[in-house]
Structure 1
Amino acid sequence: MSERHDLRCGIETCGEYPCPISNNTGAPMCLSPLQGSVPANVEYNACMRRLAFLLRCLALVALALLPACTTINSSTTGAASSQPAAQRSATPIPLTLWHSWSGAKLNALNILARSYEQANPEVRIRLQSQAAPDMLRQYNLSVADGSGPQLLLTPGRYVGELAEQQQVAPLDDAFATETLTDVLAPALEGARVGQQLYGVPITFDTLVLFYDRRRSPSPPATFDELLALNASERSQPAEQRPLSLAYYLMLETTLPYLHAFGGVVVDAAGQPTFASTGKDATARWLEWLKTLQRDENVLASADFSAVDAAAQAGRAWSVIDWSHRRANYAQVWGADAVGVAPLPALAPDQPPRPLVLPQVLCINPVTSPEQRSAAQNFMRFMLEPASQELLASRSGLIPVHRLAQVAPDIQPFVAAASQSQGLVNNITDPDVWRPLNDMFRGVISGATSVSEALTTATTTLQPTPTP
Structure 2
Amino acid sequence: MPETGEEGSDFCPRCPRCLPGLFLLFLLLLLAACGFSSASQQTTLVFWHAWPSPDHHILAHLIDRYNQTHPTTQVIPQAMSLASLTRELRAAALAGSGPHLVLLHNHTIGALAQGEFLLPLDHLVAPEDYAALLPTAVQGAQVTLPDGTTHLYGIPLTFDTLALYYHKGQVRSPPEDVETLLQVARDLTSETFQPPGWGLACTLSLDKTIGYLPAFGGQVFDSQGNLVLGTTGRPGTERWLRWLATLRQDRHILAVSDSITVDSALKARQAMMTIDWSHALPVYQALWDDALGVAPLPQVRATGQSPRPYVQSYVLSLNARVLENRAEQDAALDFVRYLVSEDAQEVLLEAGKQPVLLTIHPDSPTTSAPATTIAAALVFRLQAQQGQAMPDTRTANAIVRDELEKMQLAVLRGLATPSDAVTHAEQALRDRLGHLERSPQGNMAEPGPEMRY
What TM-score results when the alignment is normalised by the length of structure 2? 0.80
1:255 and 2:205 matched: no
Q: 349, 357, 360: which one pairs with 1:401?
A: 357
Partner of 2:336: 379
2:107·2:140 contact (CA, 8 Å) conserved in 1? Answer: yes
Contact 2:133/2:358 (CA < 8 Å) preserved in 1? yes
1:127 corresponds to which residue? 77
Q: Using a 3 Å threshold, how does the CA distance of structure 1 residues 249 and 238 change in structure 2: closer, same or farther?
A: farther
Return the alpha-carbon distance in structure 2 between the equivalents of residues 278 and 164 of structure 1.
Answer: 29
Taking only the aligned residue pairs, the percentage that are identical comes to: 34
* Structure 2 counterpart of 1:419: 386
User: Secondary structure at 2:287's aligned position in 1?
Assistant: helix
* Secondary structure, aligned partner of 1:362: strand
3-state DSSP class of the match of 2:46?
strand
SS of the aligned residue for 1:206 comes to strand
Q: How does 1:211-222 map to 2 (within 5 A)?
A: 211-222=166-177
Q: Which residue of 1 aligns with 2:225?
A: 270
Deviation, 1:454, is: 1.9
Counterpart amino acid of residue 200 in structure 2: L
- Aligned partners of 2:126, 2:159: CA distance in 1, in Å? 22
Match of 1:183 in 2: 133
Shift of the 351–152 alpha-carbon distance from structure 1 to 2, 3 Å rule, reads same
CA contact (8 A) 1:312 1:332 kept: yes
Report SS of the residue matched to 1:188.
helix
Task: Report the equivalent of 1:297.
Answer: 252
Following TM superposition, by how much is the alpha carbon of 1:64 offset from its aligned partner in structure 2, in angstroms? 7.4
Alignment match of 1:446 (pick from 414, 419, 429): 414
Q: How does 1:51-130 map to 2 (within 5 A)?
A: 65-66=30-31, 88-130=38-80
Does the 8 Å contact 1:199/1:360 carry over to 2?
yes
Amino acid at match of 1:319: T
The match for 1:455 among 390, 411, 423 is 423
- 1:332 CA displacement: 2.8
Counterpart among 335, 348, 353 of residue 391 in structure 1: 348
Q: C-alpha separation between the residues in 2 aligned to 1:64 and 1:143?
A: 41
Q: Do the aligned partners of 2:219 and 2:234 also contact (CA within 8 Å) in 1?
A: no
* Deviation for aligned residue 1:89: 4.2
1:209 touches 1:321 (CA, 8 Å); kept in 2? yes
Matches within 5 A, 1:31-46: none
**Unaligned segments of structure 2, at least 5 residues:** 1-25, 145-149, 363-368, 440-453
SS of equivalent to 1:229: helix
TM-superposition CA deviations, 1:299-355 (whole Å, max 9, x none): 11101111111111222110001111122223332x101100010112171211121
* Number of equivalenced pairs: 390
C-alpha separation in 2, matches of 1:265 and 1:177: 31
Q: C-alpha separation between the residues in 2 aligned to 1:191 and 1:170?
A: 10
C-alpha distance in structure 2 between counterparts of 1:286 and 1:175, whole Å: 42
Match of 1:342 among 263, 278, 296: 296
Contact map agreement 2:281 2:352 (CA 8 A) in 1 = no
1:431 paired residue number = 399
**AA of the residue aligned to 1:156:** N
The code of the aligned residue for 1:170 comes to: P
Q: Secondary structure at 1:152's aligned position in 2? A: strand
What is the 5 A alignment of 1:192-231?
Answer: 192-194=142-144, 195-230=150-185
Cα distance in 2 between the residues matched to 1:438 and 1:253 = 15
Contact 1:184–1:400 (Cα < 8 Å) also in 2 = yes
Q: Distance in 2 between matches of 1:86 and 1:177?
A: 38
Match of 2:100 in 1: 150
Once structures 1 and 2 are overlaid, which stretch shifts more, 445-454 or 400-409?
A: 445-454
Given that 2:189 and 2:198 are in contact with CA atoms closer than 8 Å, whether structure 1 keeps it comes out as no
Determine whether 1:316 maps to 2:281. Answer: no
Corresponding residue for residue 312 of structure 2: 357
Cα 1:146–1:278 change in 2 (3 A) is same
Shift of 1:162: 0.9
Deviations 1:54-73 (A, max 9, x none): xxxxxxx987731767xxxx
Letter in 2 for 1:291: T
8 Å Cα contact 1:329-1:338 kept in structure 2: yes
1:235 and 1:308 mapped to 2: Cα distance?
A: 18
| SS of match in other structure, 1:306 | helix
Question: Contact 2:178/2:299 (CA < 8 Å) preserved in 1?
Answer: yes
What's the Cα RMSD here?
2.5
Q: After alignment, is 395-404 or 452-461 more displaced? A: 452-461
**Residues 238 and 443 (structure 1 numbering): CA distance in 2 closer, same or farther, change over 3 Å?**
farther
SS of equivalent to 2:426: helix
- Shift, 1:432, TM fit: 2.0
Corresponding residue SS for 2:297: coil
Q: Are 1:226 and 1:244, in contact at CA under 8 Å, matched by a contact in 2?
A: no
